Amino acid sequence: MNMLAKPAGWEALLRLRYAQRGGCTRIIERERHGPLAVQRPFYPEGEVCHTYLLHPPGGVVGSDSLDIRIAVEADAKALITTPGATKFYRSGGRLATQVQTLEVAAGGLLEWMPQENIFFPDARAQVETRIELESGAAFIGWDMQCLGRPAISEAFDTGAVNASTRLSIDGELVLIDQLRTQGERLIQAASGMRGYPMQATMLIVPGWDPSRADEILDQVRAQVEAHSSGLEAGATWVDGVIAVRLLGPGTEPMLRLLSAIWSAVRPLLAGRAAVPPRIWST
């Protein structure tokens, strides 16, 4: 046995395909390898399929590789969240990767609302979110990144994170959002995170009714004004996408604002009131 060999990490894959069947959305294809799974779907509002992504080990370490692939077919409606934060632990110099590919067909709706990613000091992580939409697809979702553990005053003073979100419509790249840092460099930069340990991006694509984009943007900005105490936040309309960007001191105020925006715009985007996933109340 080679005592100097580097330990192998988990290689995990979860692939889900959603389709409209019998008046509601079902998971029609499911493939998994390694420690990624889903609980049984929930239907608290009838047609929409609520799904909770699970990573039983509870954290990601160096050399782990997670691959999540979601496909939503025409007219299907899926809401996906996680029961807790994804934790990227100290990696001993090894890179951990997580790739999320989210595909939505014309007429479909995906609501992507995971809890935050927490990067422990000395973590080395690469996180990619690829959102691939057809014209007429609707999307609302967010990613939250936490550098260090501000709840216990632990700074991200060593390590490296490269987190990116790319959104394309009909194969054309329309938005790139990126967070890249070595230690606290980006956190302390005036043109970066301005001393805040957390960053979030929320993206909204109106889908089959783009004429309501101005109305949705007005609602987003109203929620930002009402719920951004302690945060730095702003919303813009770029090439068919409403982008909301946040900087803040912790998860709770960020999630409060993101949830308020979702609750306000969902009736305009999806024609139904917001029904929070039950896991958020436990």
The whole model's pTM is what?
A: 0.94
pLDDT value at residue 180: 93
pLDDT value at residue 8: 66
Radius of gyration of the chain from its Cα atoms, rounded to whole angstroms: 19
CA distance readout (Å), 152 to 60, 181, 235, 250: 20, 21, 30, 11
Q: Are 226 and 260 in contact (CB under 8 A)?
A: yes
Give residue 177's region: left, alpha or beta (phi > 0; psi -120 to 50): beta
What sign for the dihedral angle of Cα 220, 225, 226, 229? positive
pLDDT value at residue 7: 53
pLDDT value at residue 4: 41
β-strands 160-169, 124-133 pairing? parallel
The whole-number mean pLDDT for each consecutive block of 10 residues of the chain, a chain of 282 residues, reads 53 96 95 91 94 87 95 97 94 93 97 96 96 96 95 93 96 94 86 91 86 89 95 92 95 95 93 91 77
The token pair at 113 is 């609302």
